[in-house]
Amino acid sequence: MRQFYFYSIMLFVFVLGSCSGKKSANNNQEQSENPKELSDVTGTQALGEPHPGKAVYQKYCLTCHQSDGSGVPGMFPPLSPNEWIADKDKMIELMLNGQSGEITVNGEVYNSLMPAHDFLSDEQIADVISYVRMSFGNDLEAVSQEEVAAAR
Amino acid sequence: MKFINLLLLAVVFVSCNSGSHKINTITADSDNGGLTLPEGFCALVVADDLGPARHIQVNDQGDIYISLNRLHKGGGIACLRDTTNDGRADLIQYFGRHHGTGIAFWNNHLYFGSDTLVVRYPMVYGQLLPHDGEEIVVTGLPINNQHAAKPLTFDQAGNLYVTVGAPSNACMEQTRTKGSPGMDPCPLLERHGGIWKFRADQLKQDQVEDGQRYATGIRHAVAIDWNGAENTLYALQHGRDQLHQFFPELYDEKQSAELPAEEFLLVEEGSDFGWPYCYYDPITQQKVLGPEYGGDGTEVGVCAAKDDPILAFPAHVAPNDLLFYTGDMFPEQYQNGAFIAFHGSWNRAPEVQEGYYVVFVPFEGKIPSGDWEIFADGFAGVSPVNSPADAQYRPCGLAQGPDGSLFVTDDVKGRVWRIMYNPAN
């Protein structure tokens, strides 16, 4: 039975993957002049490289904020559209300095600690913020490494 | 009054049949409130939308008291009464100015563990709301921005036990920062990461001056209960996180999702369970040195001297309450055994999340007599749970009712279930 579930899930993932693959392929054709601006909502692209911020996200952010950016209710806020994601400067500051104390995101209160990620390079920070700002339902402009360097 | 209550109890009987509603009959919900249960058991939803419902107590009259993680409708304690004897709460009032997790009765008082204080309120027989005369029992508990809950329990000798979690993952110099070493000795252990013992009837006790550090080396225990039959304290630890994230050269993502075990602890005076220096590996069944302290995943070092758990649960499933069952409603195999509510994991990502269930552990004397089994499941409403936000409900608190029913709370939407047994079902 477990195996059946496993194969069903794999099949589902495969079907999902192939749908998003097609979508990304179309996007790729339309916007091929700048691969960084590709919308990478599903994180799968049949053609071209995945957004460079995705690897940074998977390594440093995913544990708490989850693979779908939904966060952990009551602990870590979601990365779906909210007032923090919308504020580019705040995002850079969050990455460089971390965050502690009570905050409100989309009306929900959180009081956990996010460590500073100032050990990442300007490019990595710019990439991961840009990735978040174009994923999980967000459709916001990218952040440049110069903007991160200026804030550091 | 007591005689009338007894008479009332006599005519109230439990029915697991999903037939029509009858006066003075507690009929389970046809879908058991969304839960899957062993054969012969059934459940009903007592109340919904109570706010972030944490721990729960039911008194001899069947009134229900639930701690809330945030103030909700002006109070930090939800007080529930069923005035029509159908098992559903129809009178719900909110009380108290603190929010938190710990809640328990002792000597006609309701004790409440807020994140920094233990307070108590006198109970007046027959009245739903406690008396407003708040008294401070314990003060000076540290404010934590993680693992803030202060759960509590009592022994039979008039002592109060309060767990104080560590605001830390593994006592790194810089909290949850890759490459930061573990502090040795860990200064947090002076006031955190253990269970403190106080007098139940003494007011304004300070954690350091008046409290006794009863046991240490416990990262965060939300589940704590005194087993009256064995005169022994038990707790369950939320184990450490992020082995792969901080030590990718030692642990892959799968190992990180499956290490370390959540530990079921038999707590004695002076016990040391080894946090932050050690964690329990459920595969090799031993405590090993944490990587922040030079461990490589197999080295034991100082951990050989630390106390082992009596049972190991899967990693990260977050045990949030413990109840030793003493009722006579459930079959004999459940007598004096342990029910444990698991909140479900968040830190198994990218693996699927697990552990949104209530389990049962059979006991013989002081230790488990068999393996654990899932008792109540289906809280999450989805399977698999890819992210915690997908879970509709997450089990958090457990209580036993006067008739032996088992109550379970959820802190996502604030639902309360009552689980009953009737073999005629």
* DSSP output for B288-310: EE-GGGT--SS--GGGGGSPPPS
Residue B351 lies in a domain: yes
Structure-derived torsion over alpha carbons of residues B148, B154, B155, B159, reported in degrees to the nearest 10: 80
pTM to 2 decimals? 0.86
Residue B94 lies in a domain: yes
- CA-atom Rg of chain A in angstroms: 17
Q: Which one-letter amino acid corresponds to residue A110? A: Y
If you ran DSSP here, which 8-state letter would residue A59 be given?
H
pLDDT digits (tens, 9 = 90+) for B383-410: 999 999 999 999 999 999 999 999 999 9
pLDDT digits (tens, 9 = 90+) for A47-105: 568 899 999 999 999 989 999 999 999 889 999 999 999 999 999 999 999 998 889 99
Instruction: Please report the DSSP string for B168-215 in residue order.
Output: SSS-BSSTT-TTPPBPSS-GGGGTSSEEEEEETT-SSEETTTT-EEEE
Domain that holds residue B150: 2-238+313-421
Q: Is B241 on the interface with A (CB under 8 A)?
A: yes
Contact residues on chain A for B174, CB-CB shorter than 8 A: 115
Q: Is A73 on the interface with B (CB under 8 A)?
A: yes
The enclosing domain of B154 has a CATH number of 2.120.10.30
**Which tokens belong to B320?**
């949030």
CA proximity to A147, closest of A94, A97, A88: A88
Please say whether the beta carbons of B401 and B44 come within 8 A: no
pLDDT in tens, chain B (425 residues): 444 444 444 444 556 654 433 334 799 999 999 999 999 999 999 999 999 999 999 999 999 999 999 999 999 999 999 999 999 999 999 999 999 999 999 999 999 999 999 999 999 999 999 998 999 999 999 987 778 899 999 999 999 999 999 988 999 998 777 888 999 999 999 999 999 999 999 999 999 999 999 999 999 999 999 999 999 999 999 999 989 988 999 999 899 999 999 999 999 999 999 999 999 999 999 999 999 999 999 999 999 999 999 999 999 999 999 999 999 999 999 999 999 999 999 988 888 999 999 999 999 999 999 999 999 999 999 999 999 999 999 999 999 999 999 999 999 999 999 999 987 75
Cβ-count burial of A41 within 10 angstroms (0-12 exposed, 13-18 middle, 19+ buried)?
Answer: middle
Residue B266 lies in a domain: no
CA proximity to B416, closest of B40, B30, B44: B44
Contact residues on chain B for A74, CB-CB shorter than 8 A: 52, 69, 411
- Residue B350 has its nearest CB partner, among A67, A70, A100, at A67
Total number of domains constituting chain B: 1
Cβ-count burial of B305 within 10 angstroms (0-12 exposed, 13-18 middle, 19+ buried)?
Answer: exposed
Q: Closest-CA residue in chain B for A78?
A: B389
On whether ipTM exceeds 0.90, the answer is no
Domain extent listing, chain A: 1-31, 49-152
CATH for the A49-152 domain, from 2.120.10.30, 3.50.50.60, 1.10.260.40, 1.10.760.10: 1.10.760.10
Q: Closest-CA residue in chain B for A110?
A: B145
